[in-house]
Amino acid sequence: PDVRIDVVTIFPEYLAALDLSLVGKARQRGLLDLRVHDLRDWTTDRHRTVDDTPFGGGAGMVMRPDVWGRALDEVLGAGATLILPTPSGEVFTQRHADELATAEHLVFACGRYEGIDARVAEHYRATGLDVRELSIGDYVLNGGEVAALVMIEAVGRLVPGMVGNPESLVEESHGAAGLLEYPVYTKPPRWQEIDVPDLLLSGHHARIDRWRRDEALRRTAGRRPEMIAALDGTALDKHDVAL
């Protein structure tokens, strides 16, 4: 397979969605070797304990570094990228997805409770591995499982052969244009007394391209003004509407 992904979690069932859809098909076709592991397989006590109270006090439980260390020593190989989903991480964007899609082996360590003992990230960084602490957005989930699902789907669809139509990778929101996608329409041409914009039925391809660009700019300015501010001068053409 082109890509190897391992996920370590105390809730392997959470990752069942990876059997479905494009990721599932890529696995069936042998493009993607994806394995989900139960962290408790690396516990040594009768209660299969993975967490303990935080040094320094405070609410919640912290995941033990010794259990994670045994798991990751076994699952990580040389050249793996270790991803720790955490709300305290860098915010995961399409740029991260593009970069991670070129990695040969991704290992996701899904923490629960108040997080994983900070020495885990420090230790594996010190061994020279690429360790990424990544957040999927400014909100708090119960654990890293759903965040790992999000990142695996975003990365997985960039693996060659996984998306049916490679062109759908080009013109899309958060793509190279730095703009949100324009609105799209299909049949029927009139629905709930709303008409598809006439121009889209006209066959004037140059005008349609211009209209789509203006709609993308308008939408981006309204919803994501910071993306307009971040456009470099070369990203705008002389016909672009004044924003």
**Least gap, CB of 9 to ligand ADE (angstroms):** 12
Q: Token digits for 131?
A: 């360790």
Kindly tell me which of 137 and 183 has the beta carbon lying closer to ligand ADE: 137
98 annotated as ligand-binding: no
**Least gap, CB of 115 to ligand ADE (angstroms):** 8
138 annotated as ligand-binding: yes
Kindly tell me which of 85 and 156 has the beta carbon lying closer to ligand ADE: 85
116 annotated as ligand-binding: no
What does the CA dihedral 56, 61, 65, 68 come to, rounded to 10 degrees? -170
**Least gap, CB of 144 to ligand ADE (angstroms):** 5
**Least gap, CB of 83 to ligand ADE (angstroms):** 10
**Least gap, CB of 214 to ligand ADE (angstroms):** 34
What does the CA dihedral 156, 154, 95, 6 come to, rounded to 10 degrees? -60
Q: Token digits for 127?
A: 């061994």
**Least gap, CB of 12 to ligand ADE (angstroms):** 17
- Start-to-end CA distance of the chain, whole Å, equals 46
| 181 touches 171 (CB < 8 A) | yes
Give the separation between CA 38 and CA 59, rounded to whole angstroms.
25
31 annotated as ligand-binding: no
Binding site residues, ligand ADE, CB under 6 A? 85-87, 135-137, 139-141, 143-144, 147
Cα–Cα nearest to 72, from 82, 60, 58, 85: 82
Kindly tell me which of 113 and 211 has the beta carbon lying closer to ligand ADE: 113
Kindly tell me which of 43 and 135 has the beta carbon lying closer to ligand ADE: 135
Give the separation between CA 50 and CA 32, rounded to whole angstroms.
29
Kindly tell me which of 138 and 226 has the beta carbon lying closer to ligand ADE: 138
Kindly tell me which of 95 and 205 has the beta carbon lying closer to ligand ADE: 95
136 annotated as ligand-binding: yes
Binding site, annotated residues for S-adenosyl-L-methionine: 111, 136-141
Binding site, annotated residues: 111, 136-141
